[in-house]
Amino acid sequence: MGIQDELNAELKDAIKARDKARTAVIRQVETEVAVAKAAPGFKGEVDDALYKATIVSYVKKMEKARLEYEELGERGADQAAKLAFEVEYLSRWTPQLPGEDETRQIVRGAIDELGVDDPKMVGRVMGHIMKSGRDLDGGLVNRIVREELGA
């Protein structure tokens, strides 16, 4: 069963169960896919690859927004909780990224490989790591590179 079929079945179940949170996130994903499909230059099919790419992009945006709402404290708590639910719900369709320890090992390996110790070389190390083709959290990589180089 493809992601689109899973989401359609989940949407029907969520509507029957009157689960507004699940209904909203599924409908938002469908909207995001429709926007991606209507984008200039889109050629291809609406398949699992498009759904995965769209979900990953949406989850990244919502995770960033959730952190911003959390910084607001009590005023942003409700919205942060809503976004946390969306991120958690959609996580089954996103790649599992390495944790902080594994990412730190990757960063240290890249720094050793490049022979870099200058804090001004953060961009070079970041580019080297991100071009490796691994699925990594760019924000986490950036933070760790800065810590390791003392930037």
Was domain 100-149 assigned CATH 1.10.10.410?
yes
C-beta separation of 26 from 7 below 8 A: yes
Nearest CA-CA partner of 86 in 120, 60, 47: 60
Residue 12 has pLDDT above 90, yes or no: yes
How far from the centroid of its chain's Cα atoms is residue 148's Cα?
Answer: 24
Select 3-93's CATH number: 1.10.443, 2.120.10, 1.10.1510, 2.60.40.
1.10.1510
Rounded to an integer, what distance in angstroms lies between the CA atom of residue 11 and that of residue 109? 44
Give me the pLDDT at residue 137, please: 79
Residue spans of the domains in the chain: they are 3-93, 100-149
- Tens digits of per-residue pLDDT, 16-49? 999 999 999 999 999 999 999 998 988 888 888 8
Please report the pLDDT score of residue 5 as a whole number. Answer: 93
Confidence (pTM):
0.69
Q: What secondary structure, in 3-state letters, does 63-113 show?
A: HHHHHHHHHCHHHHHHHHHHHHHHHHHHHHHCCCCCCHHHHHHHHHHHHHH
pLDDT above 90 as % of the chain: 44
Would you say residue 4 has pLDDT above 70? Answer: yes
What is the per-residue pLDDT across 93-129, written as a single tens digit (0 to 9) for each? 888 878 888 889 999 998 999 888 888 888 898 888 8
